[in-house]
Structure 1
């Protein structure tokens, strides 16, 4: 039984200037009530000829058996293994893949290994990962990270969200909004941030940046007191891909096509590490590269209207600034989800693209009622005018590569390619 049809959205960092900002995210409640009846029969979808190799891991979109309270729509899961310096390891299933953030963040109550904390002065380092409407508070630890057959060459900093050994989040952290991590806990065991950037904050959180200009992201905790502090790159949340011995220039997420607009009960695809480093991770023929700007965005047009945005597996829908002719869901007239009477087709023309892409926005309420988890036409409103968040639905049937910063001369801040 699912007493609520709550769905969520995890959005990438709000901006990245000379000093990068933190990742951004938001948890939303879908319009509509619950249902005690089982979902109707629907075939699951999978890739017909998935890649294989040590750099490939299976990725699934499905309803978690442990989550009886919410529907985890468009949530891509992989398993992640963490190890200590002595070789003791733990595998955590159901970690969400987020191509819009950097760093591995696991819920503390899911980690049994006593992974070492990261010292900061006379205390230990903690982080306040900042989201669009909230925060994730937790301690920083060191772990060797393995995903599929790829392993980091040395331990990297990861975050334990909702760590009970810490006191409540400091006021400067809590001022970011709601406790996002607490609301996200039923959805996944953690967040695997494998976006364009190597560190979750970068130079903006280092000691060389004046304290007045740093985001309230890192803290030194001594006893029960936590005060804002700097964190060098070696201490910050780190994109695991950047620490692999090979296949360390990015990744490719490959999902099957899903019936539009109705969706499917579940979907299975692959996450492939490296771009053009092995025969199994070459860009598809005809793929185009779209470099991101220093602020992490790309520009383009949706149905002829100019704007900017990003492509992000950590957002579970399309979040777009559409005009009032596209109906919002009821009974809440201010609902953040779109519920048009019939599917709406939109044309997306990214700057530099040789051709346009088509996306479809369907009726969110009808999709929620099916209790399916692979929803290719799920769309909601954007908080900023002329802004587009092309979330996980954009990945269905379209292999998308996420290139790391500093790996391609023509795209110094990273890129997307498809």
Structure 2
């Protein structure tokens, strides 16, 4: 990232790639002081700086909105708004309406597992029409921040070209290769792996190396339905209508009282089946497409307490962990779902071959 039209730049490593959110968010603690000072603040019609609160399943992130020239993998977006999580000064105090949703404040590397979040989900902006009116939405809200602090929730336009107001999906804001992305990760041994190297492709069907091919396309709910990116998972005869694919979740999150829970108090909520299980799921798209998948589920204890960073097929019950805010009637297909697959993320309203987003494909 660079301060717009300058050579004041900083390369940020260890950024979480998240298909469950949208927008670039970097922790203030990992930015050089000079870098933060060089980034122009987004301001509202009253010339006050703007901040954002975004809710995640495990908490919320609050911080200022600033402009950067963004570069990744040969792609670039000029003058793009991003969030600085945990920014100081007038942004230090979190508004009560932001923290009221519950969960933990995400403000440090240990909270998010990285130096920032690259949200490349299925929408073009992080809040869409829900934030184009004063009051925001339960998931995201933009704040007017005079010197006395951030209190009032304001409206922000949803555009993917400059001048931006809401945080855009960085992929949707690219000049080309802007209809989606592909995450390609190799399979992981049952015992896990210390490291894993994959590829993030920008665009679907826009280059010779990002064709949709014969992947099964599962369309999702749209922004007009109130929340984009959701589909149905049928698991043990239950129709979980708010299910989603989320690379930002380290495990599968679902509720099944028949699976043995871990006895270790440090692993509260995780599943520890005495022998590996095969979970039979049917993923149902809004387009009527059904995809049958079998997911392995292993004892979480040896995998989580071991030295490997990439761990396959572990799951947890989100209702058993106080720090989580579970999505009702959902099956969260977290990062283990990506192992050994190419997963396509089609952006809402953008055509990708014969498919149009929002969709996932695999």
TM-score, structure 1 normalization:
0.74
User: Are residues 366 and 185 of structure 1, via their aligned partners in 2, closer, same or farther at CA, if it must alter by over 3 Å?
Assistant: closer
User: Are residues 330 and 159 of structure 1, via their aligned partners in 2, closer, same or farther at CA, if it must alter by over 3 Å?
Assistant: same
User: Are residues 416 and 247 of structure 1, via their aligned partners in 2, closer, same or farther at CA, if it must alter by over 3 Å?
Assistant: same
How far the C-alpha of 1:172 sits from its partner, in A, is: 1.4
> Is 1:249 aligned with 2:179?
yes
Aligned partners of 1:416, 1:164: CA distance in 2, in Å? 37
CA contact (8 A) 1:126 1:218 kept: yes
> Is 1:331 aligned with 2:260?
no
1:272 corresponds to: 201
Give matches, 1:246-395, under 5 Å. Answer: 246-260=176-190, 262-284=191-213, 286-294=214-222, 295=227, 296-308=229-241, 309-322=243-256, 324-332=257-265, 335-351=268-284, 352-353=288-289, 355-382=291-318, 383=326, 386-395=329-338
CA contact (8 A) 1:205 1:215 kept: no
1:99 corresponds to: 19
User: Are residues 377 and 197 of structure 1, via their aligned partners in 2, closer, same or farther at CA, if it must alter by over 3 Å?
Assistant: same
Runs of 4+ in 1 over 4 A off after TM superposition: 183-186, 212-216, 352-355, 409-413
Ranked by relative contact order (alpha carbons within 8 Å, sequence separation 6 or more), the top structure is 1
Over the aligned positions, Cα root-mean-square deviation in angstroms equals 2.3
Q: Which structure 1 segments of 5+ residues have no match?
A: 1-80
Aligned partners of 2:171, 2:291: CA distance in 1, in Å? 31
> Is 1:161 aligned with 2:85?
yes
How far the C-alpha of 1:348 sits from its partner, in A, is: 1.7
> Is 1:414 aligned with 2:358?
yes
TM-score, structure 2 normalization:
0.85
1:218 corresponds to: 142
How far the C-alpha of 1:249 sits from its partner, in A, is: 0.6
> Is 1:126 aligned with 2:51?
yes
How far the C-alpha of 1:354 sits from its partner, in A, is: 5.8
How far the C-alpha of 1:412 sits from its partner, in A, is: 5.7
Aligned partners of 1:214, 1:289: CA distance in 2, in Å? 29
1:240 match: secondary structure: coil
How far the C-alpha of 1:331 sits from its partner, in A, is: 3.4
1:155 match: secondary structure: strand
CA contact (8 A) 2:22 2:126 kept: yes
Give matches, 1:391-406, under 5 Å. Answer: 391-406=334-349
How far the C-alpha of 1:385 sits from its partner, in A, is: 5.8
2:194 match: secondary structure: coil
1:227 match: secondary structure: coil
CA contact (8 A) 2:109 2:115 kept: no
1:172 match: secondary structure: helix
User: Are residues 411 and 279 of structure 1, via their aligned partners in 2, closer, same or farther at CA, if it must alter by over 3 Å?
Assistant: closer
How far the C-alpha of 1:366 sits from its partner, in A, is: 1.4
How far the C-alpha of 1:367 sits from its partner, in A, is: 0.7
1:225 match: secondary structure: coil
User: Are residues 198 and 354 of structure 1, via their aligned partners in 2, closer, same or farther at CA, if it must alter by over 3 Å?
Assistant: closer
> Is 1:197 aligned with 2:123?
yes
1:272 match: secondary structure: strand
User: Are residues 215 and 191 of structure 1, via their aligned partners in 2, closer, same or farther at CA, if it must alter by over 3 Å?
Assistant: closer
2:321 corresponds to: none
